[in-house]
Amino acid sequence: MAISAALNQTATRFPSFPKLNHHRPFSSTSSLFTRPTNNHSISLLKFHSDHHSKGSVIVRLSSGDGSNNSNGSNGGGSKGGEGGGDNGGEGEGDKSKGELVLALAQFGRSLENVPSDLVKAVESGRIPVSILERYFELKKSPFFKWLLQFGGFRERLLADDLFLAKISMECGVGIFTKTAAEYEKRKENFMKELDFVIADVVMAIVADFMLVWLPAPTVSLRPPLAGSAGPIARFFFSCPDNAFQVALGGISYSLLQRIGAIARNGAKLFAVGTSASLVGTGVTNALIKARKTVEKSFVGEVEELPIVSTSVAYGVYMAISSNLRYQLLAGVIEQRVLEPLLHQHKIVLSALCFAVRTGNTYLGSLLWVDYARWIGIQ
Angle in degrees, CA 62, 31, 59, rounded to 5: 30
Confidence check: pLDDT of 375 > 60: yes
Compute the average pLDDT of residues 95-116: 79
Last residue of one domain, picked from the residues 60, 88, 104: 104
Please state the separation of Cα 308 from the chain's center in Å: 34
Please state the separation of Cα 247 from the chain's center in Å: 12
pTM here is: 0.67
Q: What is the mean pLDDT of the chain?
A: 75
Q: Give the whole-number percent of the chain exceeding pLDDT 70.
A: 71
Domain count, the chain: 2
Q: How many helices (H) and strands (E) does the chain have?
A: 14, 5
Looking at residue 217, what is its pLDDT?
93
Based on the fold, state whether residues 234 and 347 are members of the same structural domain.
yes
Residue 43's identity, in one-letter code, is: S
Query: Exposure pattern of 305-330 as b/e (b: 16+ CB <10 Å)?
Result: bebeebbbbbbbbbbebbbebbbbbb
- What pLDDT, in 10s, does the model give residues 258-295? 999 999 999 999 999 899 888 877 877 787 777 777 77
Q: Cα separation of 91 and 250, whole Å? A: 14
Rg over CA atoms, the chain:
29
Looking at residue 28, what is its pLDDT?
39
Based on the fold, state whether residues 231 and 332 are members of the same structural domain.
yes
174 found inside a domain: yes
Confidence check: pLDDT of 58 > 80: no
CA diameter of the chain: 100
Compute the average pLDDT of residues 8-33: 40
Compute the average pLDDT of residues 4-11: 40
Contacts of residue 1, Cβ cutoff 8 Å, sequence gap at least 6: 62, 63
Based on the fold, state whether residues 91 and 193 are members of the same structural domain.
no
Based on the fold, state whether residues 217 and 304 are members of the same structural domain.
yes
Based on the fold, state whether residues 287 and 177 are members of the same structural domain.
yes
319 found inside a domain: yes
Torsion of CA 295, 300, 304, 305, to 10 degrees: -130
Helix pair angle (307-317, 346-375), 10° resolution: 140
Helix pair angle (231-238, 255-294), 10° resolution: 90
Looking at residue 184, what is its pLDDT?
83
Name which residue leads in pLDDT, 357 or 54.
357
Based on the fold, state whether residues 39 and 188 are members of the same structural domain.
no
**Cβ-contact 246, 201 below 8 angstroms:** no
335 found inside a domain: yes
Contacts of residue 68, Cβ cutoff 8 Å, sequence gap at least 6: 77
Looking at residue 15, what is its pLDDT?
41
Q: Which domain holds residue 63?
A: 1-20+28-104
350 found inside a domain: yes
Q: Cα separation of 3 and 15, whole Å? A: 9
Looking at residue 261, what is its pLDDT?
96
Looking at residue 260, what is its pLDDT?
97
Which band of pLDDT confidence, cut at 50, 70 and 90, is reported for residue 197?
confident
Looking at residue 9, what is its pLDDT?
40
260 found inside a domain: yes
Based on the fold, state whether residues 232 and 358 are members of the same structural domain.
yes
Q: Helices in 111-193 by DSSP H: which ranges?
A: 116-123, 131-138, 142-147, 151-159, 163-186
Which band of pLDDT confidence, cut at 50, 70 and 90, is reported for residue 334?
very high
Q: Cα separation of 243 and 266, whole Å? A: 11
Name which residue leads in pLDDT, 198 or 160.
160
Contacts 24+ apart (CB under 8 A), 84-88: 84/38, 85/38, 86/37, 86/38
129 found inside a domain: no
Name which residue leads in pLDDT, 311 or 192.
311
Looking at residue 301, what is its pLDDT?
58
Which band of pLDDT confidence, cut at 50, 70 and 90, is reported for residue 299?
low
Looking at residue 264, what is its pLDDT?
96
